[in-house]
Amino acid sequence: MIKEVKDLINSQINKEMYSAYLYLDMSNFYINKNLDGFGNWFRVQAQEEMDHAMLFTTYLLNNQEDVKLEAIAAPDVPFSDFRAPLAGAYEHELFVTASINNIYTVASENKDYRTMQLLSWFIDEQGEEEKNTDELIQKFDLFGSDPKGLYLLDKDLAARVYSPPSLVL
């Protein structure tokens, strides 16, 4: 693996761990506001992000590369109201998609087909995450301004359960 691809994957581990931190922070915010369903949704999301970090880590290790863990920044998305974390999560997913796409571009330019194959799973996954987060915002905009609607939406989000990633390395 060329150094540029390796370094990008190494820093992607940090981005995924930051994502987990960010979603854990959002989860905590909702749970302290007694919206445990929203809290559950974001806690599952945080677990998925840690899975992503582990997959990139395993990929580097499987390729006999060193892994250099970097400091994880504190989450910095403001919680001005119940909608703000949802919008922040969507923006963050767009940022992660751009980051994955950039690694794919560099891997492709260097004919690193194995990394491209790994990243194709993440490209699909980002599509799912953008869709899920966008749906959450749309549901919130439809039902969230009414207390009864918000209550039922929170109940709905409480049903989300964690499942391990479909990719096994």
Judged by CB under 5 A, the number of residues near Fe ion is: 4
Binding to Fe ion (CB under 5 A) within 126-145 occurs at 129
The upper half-sphere exposure of residue 101, i.e. CA atoms within 13 Å in the direction of its Cβ, equals 8
Binding to Fe ion (CB under 5 A) within 50-69 occurs at 52
Alpha-carbon distance 153 to 159, whole Å?
10
Q: Is 15 in the site for Fe ion (CB under 5 A)?
A: no
Q: Output the residue with the shortest Cβ distance to Fe ion.
A: 52
Residues 6+ apart with CB under 8 A from 47: 20, 162
Alpha-carbon distance 106 to 117, whole Å?
13
Residue 100 beta carbon to Fe ion: minimum distance, rounded to whole angstroms = 8
Q: Output 16 or 154, the one with its CB closest to Fe ion.
A: 16
Residue 151 beta carbon to Fe ion: minimum distance, rounded to whole angstroms = 27
Alpha-carbon distance 77 to 18, whole Å?
12
Residue 19 beta carbon to Fe ion: minimum distance, rounded to whole angstroms = 5
Burial group, residue 93, by CB count within 10 angstroms (0-12, 13-18, 19+): buried
Binding to Fe ion (CB under 5 A) within 23-52 occurs at 49, 52
Q: Output 49 or 112, the one with its CB closest to Fe ion.
A: 49
- Each residue 83-122 as x (binds Fe ion by CB under 5 A) or -, in order, gives ----------------------------------------
Q: Output 110 or 132, the one with its CB closest to Fe ion.
A: 132
Q: Helix (H, G, I), strand (E, B), or coil: what is residue 37? A: helix
How distant, in Å, are the alpha carbons of 84, 109, 155 from that of 56?
A: 29, 20, 33
Cβ–Cβ under 8 Å, residues 62 and 113: no
Q: Output 67 or 150, the one with its CB closest to Fe ion.
A: 67
Which residues of this protein are in contact with Fe ion, per CB under 5 A?
Answer: 16, 49, 52, 129
